[in-house]
Amino acid sequence: MENVIEIHGLTKTFGGKRVVDELDLSVPKGAIFALLGENGAGKTTIIRVLTGLLPPDKGSAKIMGMDCWSAASKLRRRVAYVPERPRYYDWMTVSQIGWFTAGFQGEDYPRRYDDWVEKLSLDPGAKLGTLSKGQYAKVSLALAMAIEPEVLILDEPTSGLDLMVRREFLSSMIGLVSEGRTIIISSHQVSEVERVANHVAFMANGKLLMSSPMDDLKRRIVQLQLRYEAEAPNPANYGIVLLRNGAPKQLQAVLKDPQREALEALPRMEGVHDVQVTSLHLEDIYCALVSPKEAKS
């Protein structure tokens, strides 16, 4: 699969602290790619590098084969960015901010912006300062989409929005991908992004924990549950143990890269009962990756 974004060995340090540490990451064309992690994981720094706002200290970041720092001006015609907290001239109307932004864009920008204002059910005459957070976010999306980007980068796009507005906003991303675009969503709202993303990368403390297509991820990380009579089976025999806990005579473990044949044989083991191997929601996978530890039963 063709990759639109290629990051190799990316390192960025602030005040002696590495906020992005030797990152290797690829984003396939046409993906809704979720970059997930808690605040401080390094997500926003990665986005600032991708958008040409920061140079790497070491390593490289390329979009469509072009270096994000040296070719930043060229990429701005092909890559759109919506920050977490956009700020505009709030005395302007929805229509006026589009007219103002058009001064930095091509001649067809005003027409495309007006089309997006209509698609997103915005009032062209409404002053920005009177809009709800959801409507304000839609203005940001309209401004970004009017350049007809090949890549759309969203930094915490649903931050501060009500539940229904968040769902509506994220659902609209699916239609954009069907038009051939690639979307990067940086978020700590893990459970919500699961509804739309088809590829995911987990970050913690500036490091990449795992990157995978969503379907592969659900196969590669599973939960094992069982009851036992005398001695608990060793979960390490059935995959890489990310998390282990359980009650007396019960075992529960999250496994990475499970050994399927060994798991299929477990129900036939003497003294072992009620074996279940299930897939996990994205939030549970993230918790297991970011907090690998064992709690003895």
Give residue-wise pLDDT tens across range 77-105: 899 998 877 889 999 999 999 999 988 88
- Percent helix, strand, coil in the chain, to 5, is 35, 35, 35
pTM of the predicted protein model: 0.85
The pLDDT, as a whole number, for residue 161 is 65
Contact 245, 201 (CB under 8 A): no
Count the Cβ atoms, other than its own, within 10 Å of residue 92. 16
Q: How far, in Å, CA of 294 to CA of 243, rounded? A: 6
**Helix, strand, or coil here: 262?**
helix
Of 27, 30, 20, 23, nearest to 5 by C-alpha is 27
Q: How far, in Å, CA of 272 to CA of 251, rounded? A: 10
Reading across the β-sheet that carries 182-187, which strands appear in turn?
A: 79-82, 151-155, 182-187, 32-36, 199-204, 207-213
The pLDDT, as a whole number, for residue 296 is 38
82 Cβ contact partners less than 8 Å away, ≥ 6 residues apart: 137, 140, 141, 144, 152, 153, 154, 155, 157
Q: What tokens were used for 164?
A: 């229904």
The pLDDT, as a whole number, for residue 224 is 95
CATH code of domain 3-216: 3.40.50.300
Of 132, 130, 123, nearest to 94 by C-alpha is 123
Contact 31, 183 (CB under 8 A): yes
Reading across the β-sheet that carries 17-28, which strands appear in turn?
A: 17-28, 3-14, 58-63, 66-67
The domains of the chain are located at 3-216, 218-294
The pLDDT, as a whole number, for residue 191 is 75
Residue type, 9: G
Q: Which residues of the chain have pLDDT under 70?
A: 1, 158-161, 163, 177-178, 292-297
